[in-house]
């Protein structure tokens, strides 16, 4: 069977499973589970894969809701990544239910390509994308070391084959001052809230003079208890983001200097901690993105390689993309004015457009697997690009 016929077969396979895949995505959507607690979702997904001939390892990387399903043994080893965590209060407002169903659908449909040409397809369950960077932990624990390629598709409001995602690290800060009666003895107090407010002012000044794509943003999580006591304690959480690791490191020190300066000025003592999880920027493999794009376009969905008007955040596949040639395209399931992480996007993730996005994503992923296993020279090209050759 040639590549073209195999792609037609793969599309037919996903079409014949469209009710099952939609049901799977809706079941996850109506049972939202937070990061590292995606017990039901991991069960349903692994069960589906197992019923369709994928041996499963559960709880890989010492993460109970992570899993690995594999079909075939050979090279290239192509990983399709599934996410399935939800957001607090908002449920599946990032549409990870669709990522999950498209990943298992693509894996199962790609079996015929593996049977015909060899290689292996792996569906990797990666928990806790939203809050804890599950893939960062999995990457550190070697989960992606033996793969040749990693792919996933995220739902969004634009179709794009590449994604811009920034390096990102979180900072927890606390100021310790001294309580005093705010009117009777203000001179006896050291105001920890003022230290925090000065830090914000210093960061706002800094922001005028940083690179265009860098981001610094934070919240106050403790600003005192009552207005007539000088706050003895304040706390906040900040995120620092940059286009690359080198600039992130530079910026981290400059942000920290804002807090150190405020501590000196106010007399409050500063304590801080950088998060253990550091998101790496996303390296898009353009050879892979072009293949995916062509497959998506053959399904009738126009897909630019990139969309400069699209905003950027950070994602834990960034860390995977530093180890293995990767892509993280977006498939539009809602109009442009709907933002992700909103109740409207949660509705879209259970809509007809959501299902269409899931099926197109599964098809284009499986078709890309066909291209890769049928054309070893393309895999070489993908790897050469990754190696900077
Ligand atoms: Zn997401
Ligand atoms: Zn999200």
- The pLDDT of residue 134 is 97
Give CA separation, 340 vs 84, 91, 96, 303, 358, in Å.
15, 12, 11, 19, 16
Closest-approaching ligand to the CA atom of 317: 1
Task: Say how far apart CA 107 and CA 284 lie, in whole Å.
Answer: 21
Integer Cα distance of 310 and 196 in angstroms? 32
What is the per-residue pLDDT across 81-108, written as a single tens digit (0 to 9) for each? Answer: 999 999 999 999 999 999 999 999 999 9
Query: How remote is the CA of residue 155 from the centroid of ligand 1, in Å?
Result: 8
Ligand 2 centroid, distance to 10 Cα (angstroms) = 29
Q: Is 282 helix (H, G, I), strand (E, B) or coil?
A: coil
User: Nearest 5°: CA angle at 98, between 96 and 82?
Assistant: 60
What does the pLDDT read at residue 220? 98
**Could you report the per-residue pLDDT of 2-33, keeping only the tens digit for each?**
899 999 999 999 999 999 999 999 999 999 99
Rounded to the nearest angstrom, the distance between the alpha carbon of 374 and the centre of ligand 1 is 31
Q: What is the pLDDT of residue 31?
A: 98
**Which pLDDT does position 131 carry in this prediction?**
81
Q: How far apart are CA 228 and CA 190, in angstroms?
A: 14
295 CA from centroid of ligand 1 (Å): 23
On the question of pLDDT at 310 being above 80, the answer is no
Q: What pLDDT is stored for residue 80 in this prediction? A: 98
Per-residue pLDDT at 299 exceeds 80: yes
pLDDT in tens, 57-90: 999 999 999 999 999 999 999 999 999 999 999 9
Residue 82 CA: which ligand is closest?
1
Across residues 229-241, what is the average pLDDT? Answer: 97
* C-alpha separations of 125 from 1, 204, 375 in Å: 31, 39, 27
Ligand 2 is an ion; its neighbours by CB within 5 Å are 94
* Ligand 2 centroid, distance to 341 Cα (angstroms): 6
Q: 240 forms bridges with which residues in the sheet?
A: 169, 216
Which range has the worst mean pLDDT, 176-180, 258-262, 306-310?
A: 306-310
Read off the pLDDT band of 360 (50, 70, 90). very high
**Lowest-confidence pick of 41-45, 104-108, 147-151, 303-307:** 303-307
Q: Is 131 exposed, middle or buried (0-12, 13-18, 19+ CB in 10 A)?
A: middle
CA of 177 to the centre of ligand 1 (A): 39
Question: Buried b vs exposed e over 15-32: b needs ≥16 C-beta within 10 Å?
Answer: eebeebbbebbbebbebb
Q: How many CA atoms lie within 13 A of 118 on its CB side?
A: 5
pLDDT at 1: 64
Percent of the chain scoring above 90 in pLDDT: 96
How many whole angstroms from 190 Cα to the centroid of ligand 1? 42
Q: Which ligand is nearest to the CA of 328?
A: 1
* 110/101 Cα distance (integer angstroms): 14
Average pLDDT value over all residues in the chain: 96
Segment 119-141, tens digit of pLDDT: 999 999 999 999 899 999 999 99
Give the integer Cα–Cα distance in Å for 157 and 340.
8
Average pLDDT over residues 197-225: 97
Please tell me the distance between residue 265's alpha carbon and the centre of ligand 1 in angstroms.
40
Q: How far is the CA of 151 from the centre of ligand 2 (A)?
A: 17
pLDDT at 83: 98
pLDDT at position 312: 80
CA–centroid distance, 261 to ligand 1, in Å, is 36
> How does residue 306 score in pLDDT terms, banded at 50, 70 and 90?
confident
**How sure is the predictor about 323, in pLDDT bands with cuts at 50, 70 and 90?**
very high
Q: How far is CA 118 from the centre of its chain?
A: 30
Q: What is the pLDDT of residue 313?
A: 86
pLDDT band, residue 342 (cuts 50/70/90):
very high
Residue 230 pLDDT exceeds 80: yes
- Helices (DSSP H) in the chain: which residue ranges? 3-16, 18-30, 39-51, 96-109, 111-117, 134-140, 192-207, 245-266, 286-298, 317-321, 343-348, 352-374, 376-387
Instruction: Tell me the whole-structure pTM to 2 decimals.
Output: 0.91
Kindly give the distance from the C-alpha atom of residue 388 to the centroid of ligand 2, in angstroms, as a whole number.
30
């Amino acid at each position: 069977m040639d590549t073209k016929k195999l792609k037609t077969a793969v599309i037919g396979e996903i079409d014949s499973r469209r009710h099952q895949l939609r049901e799977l995505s809706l079941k996850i959507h109506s049972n939202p589970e937070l990061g590292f607690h995606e017990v039901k979702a991991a069960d349903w997904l692994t069960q589906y894969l197992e019923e369709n001939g994928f041996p499963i390892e559960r709880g890989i990387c010492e993460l109970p809701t992570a899993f690995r399903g594999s079909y075939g043994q050979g090279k290239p080893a192509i990983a399709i990544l599934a996410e399935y965590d939800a957001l607090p209060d908002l449920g599946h407002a990032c549409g990870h239910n669709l990522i999950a169903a498209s990943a298992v659908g693509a894996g199962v449909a790609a079996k015929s390509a593996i049977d015909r040409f060899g290689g292996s397809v792996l569906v990797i369950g990666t928990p806790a994308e939203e809050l804890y960077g599950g893939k960062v932990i999995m990457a550190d624990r070697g989960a992606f070391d033996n793969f040749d390629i990693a792919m996933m598709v995220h739902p969004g409001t634009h179709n794009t084959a590449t994604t811009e995602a920034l390096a990102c690290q979180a900072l927890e800060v606390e100021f310790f001052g001294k309580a005093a009666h705010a009117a009777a003895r203000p001179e006896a107090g050291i105001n920890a809230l003022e230290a925090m407010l000065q830090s914000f002012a210093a960061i706002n000044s800094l922001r005028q003079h940083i690179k265009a794509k860098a981001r610094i943003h934070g919240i106050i999580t403790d600003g005192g208890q009552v207005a007539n006591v000088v706050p003895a304690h304040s706390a906040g959480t900040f995120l620092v983001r940059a286009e690359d690791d080198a600039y992130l490191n530079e910026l981290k020190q400059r942000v920290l200097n804002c807090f150190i300066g405020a501590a000196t000025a106010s007399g409050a003592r500063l304590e801080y901690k950088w998060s253990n999880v550091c998101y790496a920027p996303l390296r898009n493999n353009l050879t892979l993105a072009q293949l995916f794009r062509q497959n998506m376009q053959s399904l009738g969905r126009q897909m630019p390689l990139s969309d400069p008007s699209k905003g950027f955040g950070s994602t834990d596949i960034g860390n995977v993309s530093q180890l293995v040639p990767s892509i993280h395209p977006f498939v539009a399931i809602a109009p442009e004015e709907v933002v992700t992480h909103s109740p409207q996007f949660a509705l879209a993730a259970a809509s007809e457009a959501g299902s269409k996005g899931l099926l197109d994503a599964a098809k284009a992923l499986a078709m890309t697997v066909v291209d890769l296993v049928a054309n070893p020279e393309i895999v070489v090209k993908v790897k050469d690009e990754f190696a900077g050759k």
